[in-house]
Structure 1
Amino acid sequence: MPADPAADLLLITSASGKQASTLLPLLSGWKNLRLAVKSSASKERLQQQHPHAEVIQTDLYSPSNCASLLKGVNVVIHVGPSYHPHEAALGKMMIDAAVTEYQNGQGTLRHFILSSVLNSQLSKMMNHDCKKEVEEYIMESGLPYTILQPSTMMDNIPIGMLAQQESPVFKAAWSTDLKFSMLALKDLAAVMKTVLEEREKHFYAQYPLTSTNTPLTFGDAMSVISKKLGKEVKIEHLQYKDAVNGLLIRLYGTTEGVDPRSKDAAQRMVLFYDNRGLIGNSNVLEWVLGRKALQFDEWVQRKLEENKKTS
């Protein structure tokens, strides 16, 4: 049976992150939400934005905390924290807690949706390798699951900032010549909502998710943005150390006190992307949604229009 938004209890982890923040506005019909966050600031913000939700500040790296979060849950969307030094172990704890709630089909849990990464087989990247390990664990768990595998996000490009600059410069963390298949967060959120609410139709599926029908380089992307803005966006290819630090700052707000293992993961990803890129196919996403995916030029146009409305 499909999900019942009026009755089912939905748990979302990393609920203050980009994926959940784009999904939550689509879930107005869901009456029972449990949102897991790490910081008190995130808890306060989400509680204001979603007053009907149960917002829980917790550390997922704890079997007892995971068990408490999953208690009575019917469906979970688990988004693991990027570059966490214990991401694989944390994902396994969540799955173990879900198995307890599932009780071989006799318990409350009905569906475990795992947000992973495109081409998780690429084990040279530590964040991919961790997610591949969690994918294997859930496949062997006996749970009814769906694995979503998003590509690199268009939304990581600071279109608003570039639009405001008189002489815009995009600081690229990796090669401007290698091609990437990009995903719009709005497309990812729409897939999550579809999988969440259709439920059984998507059991035991793995969905590689990318929006762009044709891969593009940062050079291609900045050319599109330049045309939309009516001014040239120049590209600065960051030095390796600066690129790594930029990723860490985007995630943690600082490079100070970051676990060395998290830094290792960022370093490996920059090296891989700088030499190989990341390529996928948009067919699966379009099949799940029953519509065309959002292309990069469309995404740029929408972002610019959104910026005008809020400025």
Structure 2
Amino acid sequence: MPADPSNDLLLLTCASGKQATALLPLLSQWKRLRLAVKSSSSKERLQQQYPHAEVIQTDLYSPTNTAALMGGVNVVIHIGPSYHPHETEIGYMMIDAAVQEYGSGKGGLNHFILSSVLNTQFRKMMNHDCKRYIEEYIMESGLPYTILQPSTFMDNTPLPMLMSQEQPVFRSAWSTDVKFSWVALRDLAAVMHTMLIEREKHFYAQYPLVSTHSTLSFGEAMGIISKKIGKEIKVEVAEFREGVDNTLVRVYGTSEGIDQRSRDAAQRMILFYDNRGLIGNSNVLEWVIGRKATQFDEWVDGKVGEAGGRK
């Protein structure tokens, strides 16, 4: 059954996060949106931005809550909560709720889109390994699914902060010489939008998603930004504990009172990235969206332009 944006109910979890924030502006044709958020501030903000949407503040770590969210849904994009100590279980609950809706005989659910991560085979990283289990679970569920596997987000780069500093300093949590493949959130959002519209064409597919044509270390990335903003960025590598705290602050807004299991995940990711990075290929992403992917220098140009700064 083809997608029907005028009538289909689309559920989006972690709807106040980076991925959803990039996607939502592309969904103007979707008349029925259900947006799941964690905090009251996120609920208030999204209700103001998208008054036609149904914004639900909920805790996903509950089979009752996930079942309630899934009621009447036609398509879901599940974005799991980063570093959550129960991200795997939340994924299972979402899939179980979807299976119940899919098999209810009400003609409801048509497509489950899972936002995962590039190379879930890397079991040494807890945030990758937990998604590996979720991928297996959805493959065995009987649901019509699509698995998206994005790489390192360009948009996590603190470009506004670097632009605002007289003598900008970038403190990395891992080696600035190790190579990475990067993905722009605008490209990831374009992929998600394509999945929603084309639907059946992408059933039972797994898509590794990378934007950059060649690998790029964080040190090289800072060199590109330096040239674009006209200020030399001093590049440093933070001490391990500081790097862990900074990573948690980026995800949670604080490093205080964080579950030790979430801290474990950040620690293992940093140790892995410090030696191995994360590398993939851009061919699949460009095939899906039908255009050239955003390269890092293009992304910087766009963000600098949005800020009204020097190109």
Q: TM-score, normalised by structure 2?
A: 0.98
Please state how far the C-alpha of 1:230 moved relative to its aligned partner: 1.6
1:184 aligns with 2:180: no
Q: How much has 1:236 moved relative to structure 2?
A: 1.1
Hey, what's the Cα distance between the residues in 1 that align with 2:300 and 2:257? 35
Within 2, Cα distance between the matches of 1:201 and 1:146? 10
2:285 matched to which residue of 1? 285
Matches within 5 A, 1:227-266: 227-266=227-266
Aligned to 1:14: 14
| 2: CA distance, partners of 1:175 / 1:253 | 23
- Cα root mean square deviation, aligned: 1.1
Alignment partner, residue 43 of structure 1: 43
Residue type of the partner of 1:240? F
Alignment of 1:49-88 (within 5 A): 49-88=49-88
Q: Aligned residue for 2:214?
A: 214
Q: TM-score, normalised by structure 1?
A: 0.98
Amino acid at match of 2:177: D
Q: 1:268 aligns to what?
A: 268
Cα pair 1:104 1:142 within 8 Å, conserved: no
What residue is the counterpart of 1:305 in the other structure?
305
Residue 131 of structure 1 corresponds to 131
Distance 1:106 1:43 in 2: 29
- Tell me how far apart the structure 2 counterparts of residues 171 and 257 of structure 1 sit (CA, whole Å): 23
CA shift at 1:105, angstroms?
7.2
Partner of 1:4: 4
Distance apart, 1:33 and its partner CA: 0.2
AA partner of residue 78 (structure 2): H
1-side partners of 2:71 and 2:38: how far apart?
Answer: 18
Query: d(CA) in 2 for partners of 1:167 and 1:156?
Result: 20
Residue in 2 that maps onto 1:117 = 117
Does residue 1:156 correspond to 2:156, yes or no? yes
Letter in 1 for 2:130: C
Q: The residue matched to 1:35 in structure 2 has which SS?
A: strand
Q: What CA distance in whole angstroms lies between the structure 2 residues aligned with 1:229 and 1:84? A: 36
Cα deviation digits, residues 212-251 of structure 1 (max 9, x gap): 0001001111111111112211101111100000011111
Post-superposition shift, 1:107? 3.1
Alignment partners' CA distance in 1, 2:105 and 2:180: 40
Give the whole-Å Cα distance in 1 for the aligned partners of 2:305 and 2:87.
37
* Structure 1 residue 161, shift from structure 2 partner: 1.3
Q: What is the DSSP-based 3-state SS (H/G/I as helix, E as strand, rest coil) of the residue aligned with 1:46?
A: helix
Alignment of 1:29 with 2:22, yes or no, is no
Instruction: Supply the distance in 2 between the matched residues of 1:3 and 1:223 (Cα, whole angstroms).
Output: 43
SS at match of 1:85: coil
| 1:92 paired residue number | 92
- What code does the residue aligned with 2:141 have? S
How many residue pairs were aligned? 309
- Confirm or deny that 1:145 pairs with 2:145: yes
SS state at 2:180 partner: coil
Q: Encode CA deviations 1:93-129: one digit per residue, 9 max, x unaligned.
A: 0000000110187630000000000001100000101
Q: Which moved more, 1:200-209 or 1:252-261?
A: 252-261
Q: Could you say what secondary structure the match of 1:82 adopts?
A: coil
Letter in 1 for 2:95: I
Query: Does the CA-based 8 Å contact 1:184-1:211 persist in structure 2?
Result: yes
Deviations 1:186-205 (A, max 9, x none): 00000000011110000000
- CA–CA separation in structure 2 for the residues paired with 1:262 and 1:244: 10
Say if 2:169 is the partner of 1:169: yes
Q: Which runs of 5+ in 1 are unaligned?
A: none
Runs (4 or more) in structure 1 with deviation over 6 Å come to none
- Partner SS state of residue 294, structure 2: coil
In the aligned structure 2, how far is the partner of 1:307 from the partner of 1:106?
A: 48
Deviation of 1:183 after TM superposition, in Å, equals 0.5
**CA distance in structure 2 between the aligned counterparts of 1:201 and 1:155, rounded to whole angstroms:** 29
How far apart, in 1, do the equivalents of 2:54 and 2:104 lie? Answer: 27
The one-letter amino acid paired with 1:99 is: V
Q: Which whole-Å CA distance do the structure 2 matches of 1:223 and 1:61 have between them?
A: 42
SS of the residue corresponding to residue 66 of structure 1 reads: helix
| C-alpha distance in 1 between matches for 2:74 and 2:228 | 44
Q: Secondary structure at the match of 1:177?
A: coil
Q: Distance in 2 between matches of 1:22 and 1:42?
A: 15
